[in-house]
Amino acid sequence: MQHPAPLNQEAFLSETKASSSLFVAIALGASIGLLVPALIVGGLLIGLREPQVAEAAMQQEMEAKLDVLGSSLPELLWNLDTVAAREVVAAVMKSPDVVRVVVHDASQGAPFIEMEFPDRKKGRSLKGEREIFRGQARIGQLSVEVDDQLSTAALSRQRWLYAATVGGQLLASLALILALLNSRLMRPLRRLGGFANDLATGRFDAQLPPSSTDEIGQLGGHLDHMRKALQQQFDAQRALIERLRGMAETVPGVVYQLRLGRDGKYSFAYVSEAVKDYFQLSASRLGKDAERWFEQIAPADRAAVRESLQASARQLSPWQQEFRTYRADGSERWLYGNAIAQLEDGGSVLWHGFLTDISSQRRDALELLRYRNHLEELVEARTAELAEATKAAQAASLAKSAFLANMSHEIRTPMNAIIGLTYLAQSDSTDPTQQQRLQKVADAAEHLLSVINKVLDFSKIEAGKMQLTHAEFTIPQVLDGITSMLAQQANKKQLQMQVDIAPELATQVLLGDAQRITEVLLNFGGNAFKFTENGFVRFSARIERDLGTALQLRFEVQDSGIGINEEAQGRLFQDFEQADSSTTRRYGGTGLGLAICRRLAELMHGEVGVQSALGEGSCFWFTLRVDKSSAPAVPELPQAKRGQAARELLQQQFSGTRILLAEDNAVNQEVAVALLGSAGLQVDVAHDGQQALRMASEQDYGLVLMDVQMPLMDGLDATRAIRAMERQQGRPSTPILAMTANAFAEERQRCLDAGMNDHVAKPVVAEQLFATLHQWLSQRSKTRPA
């Protein structure tokens, strides 16, 4: 180890001369600190406030001109008095900042009066427009364009005057401050600097000349005390180094300082005497020649040691390396080198570190490696077993999905005939007893269908296969469809069905899964009608929070029904839970409906809840997040249409419209034709896909109902062929709705990918079918006139 040495005097003086003058720095800093803030603050005041004032004045002046023209021109424009009107406009154009004045009559044809001075347009233009009224009637429009060049020039002159005034005052003050600063501060500091330089070069016997008793004089006294303290610390440090040298010789391992010079040669600045036990070399011999140390390293490790030292020197990163040497008896010995790299003046690198014997640790590591290899073999075997189990689980999952799809299709197909024929029998029957029995059949069938739908939805959610669409829709469309499907229940119980949509949502086009929103609201609405005997059911929608490109919506379904006690509310939305789970309960249900609503709301980044009290009705709500669409706003539907049954709307608006039904099942044909005919629609039937393609090419139908599974050509191929035919003939697209007993999202997506517009699941529920038909026939009527 080396003794600390005082700083080299010549290097210190050279660094002092090279440094910048403190007086110049203070002068420059004061100039910047006084002038720049003043100019910036003043510039900001003038640059921010005055342009606003000037712009406000221009705006006020332009409004005055508009007032003058607006009060003078109505009678002249009404009487088409061009001469007088031109004189009025010419009077306004005398203002040097007015660039252009244009007066239009109500027809918006050629300007009634137009005057313009293009050469006045030198800066930024400000335009103003105003409607011209005569009494309550709008008879024209006028616009005035003014230029801000004159205002800008006046503002620029004001800025230069401020800068010259403030700058001159501050420069005079600065000169006086710097003169006082030099005499009272800089000269005494230079004397103190010379004294500090003596201390830095190790001349602790230097004396400081007497000075004043101010703060600088006190600083000189403190420096003299520091000189004495430094002398004591220097002596104490020399003694400490001697003690550290003795300790380094007694610690386990080798303590060293290794230097790599700019010439690429290694040398030991210090190495403890313990090195003799490791390399059979004395510290004195290594201090003279470090290459002897490399010669003691095992030949297989020498290159790695040199490369790691070079990498540590380049990056000045810690050096850590394991390598081997040999004992006097020739046995192998493992050493671990650890050091911190330090860049020295002149470009050399110095490592401070130690060497330790890790031979026993290496033996332990080899033993652990053998154990690890054995464990890896066990892990590989277990991984293979898990892979087989995973394949089996995936196969079971696929089998479950196939089973659910087949079960859905096999159950829904006969259910379509049951529900459809029951609906038709009710429509034809006049016997009250028969009507009552048929209603019980319809209620039981719809209940069974609801149970099937909920079980399938729940299984899809549990399997993580529930996928949300991201399509355009509007809130009125969703609520109109719901009220149309529930209108029959409302009429049956003579309940008022109300719809309350926030005005800002009435025409807003949104992006989201309208089908899942409808599913939640239908569940809430169905429960509301089930538990309400008199009064009302109200559907409402509003914006809870505007997120910029998205909206947080809140839907509520409120009723005047029996209400729910507080204890039951806590478990309503849990899986397989109901408000009344007793064996004597009056109302049926699986306990899945509200649980599915909760899961769907969570998938749409929202939540569900209820507010209720026994005998006071209930309010079920849920929130969700939807994106805003860039599509233009849609016109708001007339209020009278909401709450009407979908079949009534079809009869009123689209009676006589011809549609094509592609269905190979005779019973399904009978049901569909009768349902569509009851709504006033004319139906042509195709028995397979090829016949549907031929009929669609010969007749321009208002809509096509396409079964998916048909002989010769299925519904997907028939749809693709129809779309290709429409493109080839340049015909507008006819709405094509899929009809299938497969209710899974994959089937719906296949239909959409084939070119279909929507999906109607079997068994067909009459009001849902009518609502879907009304939606697409309405959209078609907007794009193609009858």
In contact, 699 and 731? CB cutoff 8 Å = no
Asked if residue 546 has pLDDT above 80, the reply is yes
Strands 758-761 and 736-740: parallel
Q: Whole-number mean pLDDT of the chain?
A: 80
Amino acid at 51: P
Tokens at residue 458, please?
A: 């729940």
* Whether the Cβ atoms of residue 254 and residue 335 lie closer than 8 Å to each other: no
* Mean pLDDT for the stretch of residues 52-76: 79
Q: Characterize 132-159 residue by residue with b for buried, 16 or more Cβ atoms within 10 angstroms of its Cβ, and e for exposed.
A: beeeeeebbbbbbbbbbbbbeeebeeee
End-to-end CA distance of the chain: 104
pLDDT at 756: 94
Other residues' Cβ atoms within 10 Å of the Cβ of residue 735: 20
For the cut 70, the answer to whether the pLDDT of residue 170 exceeds it is yes
Percent of the chain having pLDDT more than 70?
A: 80
Q: What is the largest CA-CA distance in the chain?
A: 129
Buried b (16+ CB within 10 A) or exposed e, 340-356: ebeeeeeebbbbebbbe
Average the pLDDT over 559-568 and give the result. 89
Q: 629 with 511: CB under 8 angstroms?
A: yes
pLDDT of residue 586: 47
Least confident of 385-389, 605-609, 678-682: 385-389
Query: 10 Å Cβ neighbour count for 396?
Result: 10
For residues 458-471, give the mean pLDDT.
68
What does the pLDDT read at residue 524?
Answer: 92
* Cα angle: 173, vertex 174, 176; to 5 degrees: 70
Q: Is the confidence at residue 156, as pLDDT, over 90?
A: no
> Is it the case that residue 705 has pLDDT exceeding 80?
yes
pLDDT reported for residue 502: 93
- Give the residue with greater pLDDT, 492 vs 642: 492
The β-bridge relationship of strands 608-612 and 618-628 is antiparallel
Q: Does position 2 have pLDDT exceeding 80, yes or no?
A: no
The yes-or-no verdict on residue 68 having pLDDT over 70 is yes
Highest mean pLDDT among 125-129, 153-157, 317-321, 428-432: 317-321
As a three-state string, the secondary structure of 451-477 is HHHHHHHHHHHHCCCCCCCCEEECHHH
Looking at residue 607, its pLDDT comes to 94
From residue 136, how far is each of 74, 128, 132, 133 by CA, in Å? 12, 21, 10, 6
496 φ/ψ angles, rounded to the nearest 5 degrees: -80, 130
Mean pLDDT of 172-195: 74
Total residue count of the chain as it appears in this document: 786
Using one digit for the tens of pLDDT, what is the confidence trace for 193-235? Answer: 777 777 777 676 777 777 667 777 777 777 777 777 777 777 7
Look at 171-175, 234-238, 316-320 and tell me which has the smallest mean pLDDT.
234-238
Which of the residue ranges 201-205, 501-505, 588-592, 599-603 would you say has the lowest mean pLDDT?
Answer: 588-592
Q: What is the pLDDT of residue 343?
A: 92
The answer to whether the CB of 577 falls within 8 A of the CB of 571 is yes
CA triple 664-665-671, angle to 5 deg: 120
pLDDT band for 640, please (50, 70, 90 cuts): very low
The Cα–Cα gap between 563 and 612 comes to 6
For residue 648, the model assigns a pLDDT of 86
Cα gap 671→678, rounded to integer Å:
11
Predicted confidence (pLDDT) at residue 623 exceeds the cutoff of 90: yes
Query: What confidence tier does 447 reach under pLDDT thresholds 50, 70, 90?
Result: low
CA distances from 629 to 511, 515, 552, 626 (A): 6, 17, 14, 9
Q: Is the alpha carbon torsion for 718, 723, 728, 733 positive or negative?
A: positive
Per the structure block, which two tokens stand in for 703? 């809509």
Query: What's the pTM?
Result: 0.40
Task: Give the torsion sign (CA, 88, 90, 95, 100).
Answer: positive
Residue 624: pLDDT band with limits 50, 70, 90: very high
Token digits of residue 399? 């089998």
**pLDDT at residue 244 tops 70:** no
Angular region, 275: left φ>0, alpha ψ -120 to 50, beta rest: alpha
Amino acid in position 64: A
Query: What is the Cα 595 distance to its own chain's centre?
Result: 28
Listed range (35-49, 211-225, 464-478) with the worst mean pLDDT: 35-49
Closest CA to 660 of 560, 736, 748: 736
- Quick one: angle between helices 50-78 and 149-181, nearest 10? 170
**pLDDT tens digits for 502-536?**
999 988 999 998 888 988 998 899 889 989 999 99
**235/242 Cα distance (integer angstroms):** 11
DSSP state of 186: I
Query: In this structure, are residues 248 and 255 in contact, taking their beta carbons and an 8 Å threshold?
Result: yes
d(Cα 314, Cα 324) in Å, to the nearest integer? Answer: 24
* Cα separation, 572 vs 52, whole angstroms: 60
CA distance 760 to 424: 19
Kindly tell me if the per-residue pLDDT of 588 is higher than 60. no
Residue 518's closest CA among 767, 731, 291, 159?
Answer: 767
Q: What is the pLDDT of residue 622?
A: 94
Residue 3 and residue 749: Cα distance in Å, rounded?
A: 83
